[in-house]
Structure 1
Amino acid sequence: YLDEDGYLFIVDRKKDIIIRGGENISCQEVEAALYEHPAVAEAAVFGLADERFGEVPGAVVVPQDGETLTSDDLAAFLHQHIAAFKVPQRIWISEQPLPRLGTEKIDKVSLKATYRALA
């Protein structure tokens, strides 16, 4: 949308792409790598504003019941499976199920609003 000063704001992307310093990162690719970890029950990846790169990936992960995950463990795991520039800069661990839309898709708009405020 355009604000009253004529600035264009992109509030969502149909293709779930993060542009980090000119490099494209597929949220789906990073999510697929997170789901390869045996202790991950749910994962969502989205863009976070960054002064240097414009945007960087962030992730919210819900562990499987009875499992313990840390951000550092997940980052190390991801470094073995995807390119380093695709590894989320921030990984939050949530004990609550990720919010969902009526279609059962993860509500990334809600997640972005919640976790961007924490970044």
Structure 2
Amino acid sequence: MTRPVTNGLPDTAADDKIKTEGLTYDDVLLVPGHSTVMPREADTSSVLTQSITLNVPVLSAAMDTVTEADMAIALARQGGAGVLHKNMPIEEQAKEVRRVKRSENGMILDPITISPHDTVA
């Protein structure tokens, strides 16, 4: 990361902000540059635990406005992971976890069906 410079000197105020507050998307600018790495050779996987490796280094926030079963399922299908929030009763949390786990193979939980005698039109 390039350090901010003010009047030719390192910006210690910026250093202090990084250490105490962290960074947001507005604080960071990624500048494209030349690379000899071919996209197919790039490894974006990330080790989350000893037994879990994410193909895409993305975890969703455990917030009720961000992650419930649908978001966790979508992220898992792309190689990331969703962290379910705790702002719901235990029974509902268990239900959300079951939905995510059952979706692993793309199973349709509530299929729409018709009988052989119904018309489709």
TM-score category (smaller protein)? under 0.3
Q: TM-score, normalised by structure 2?
A: 0.22
Larger radius of gyration: 2
Q: TM-score, normalised by structure 1?
A: 0.23
Higher relative contact order (CA closer than 8 Å, sequence separation 6+): 1
Greater strand content: 1
